Amino acid sequence: MNVVAYLRVSTDEQVQSGLGLEAQRAAVEQEAARRGWSVVWEVDEGVSGKLRNRPALDRALGWLRAGEAQALVVAKMDRLGRSVIQASDVLETARRQKWDLIVLDLGMDLTTPHGKAMAQMLAVFAELEREMISARTKAALGAAKARGTRLGRPRQIDPALLTRIVAMHAAGSSHRCIAAALTAERVPTPTGRARWNPGSIGGYLTSAALDPVEPTLSASEAVA
């Protein structure tokens, strides 16, 4: 089986000493010899696991996406990332693209029932971590709002237009439909562009919810 081995160390000291990389490489080589793997190596040197964009990991995922390798091998789970969410995202990519993930220190191998069960547990903890982050964020935003801190994107939109967008949404129009309607009517965006983006509509609606404007149009007038 062709596999791509991903190695990573975070600090310049580890890069210079080579000890972290040597230990990871030795673990992969031992397992590769035992199981008869053909290995392609991708190495991130001095790259934090907190970063989403890591050149060698991106290349490794490219090999897998192209079908040039059938599995991603790491010596330790924390080489993939410092959070459960990051590791779970790689697992979800593996499931979707139909390649295997093998984590040597955990004995996790998606080619085995035991490995699949561990992956499912990891996904559960990743969802828990997401919910905890969301709860902390909402609590922080609530505290900031209570202190009088203005939240949301700075309002750079004409109040009458913002009121119309709010009314269209209240009448049942989606962000995408509102963006399409304003674009079709050739209403320029606050930055002067011709095309409205659904994400921008969502941002203005969030801003309006956090700091409401006085209505100037009814819902029926907005969609007339």
Active site residues: 10
Do residues 3 and 94 make contact, with C-beta atoms less than 8 angstroms apart? no
Q: What letter represents residue 173's amino acid?
A: S
**Cβ-contact 162, 214 below 8 angstroms:** no
Cβ–Cβ < 8 Å for 211, 153: no
Q: What SS3 state is found at 207?
A: helix
The phi, psi pair for 39, rounded to 5°, reads -110, 135
Q: How far apart are CA 76 and CA 126, in angstroms?
A: 17
What does DSSP say about strands 38-45 and 2-9: parallel, antiparallel, or unpaired?
parallel
Instruction: Reduce the DSSP state of residue 1 to 3 states and report it.
Output: coil
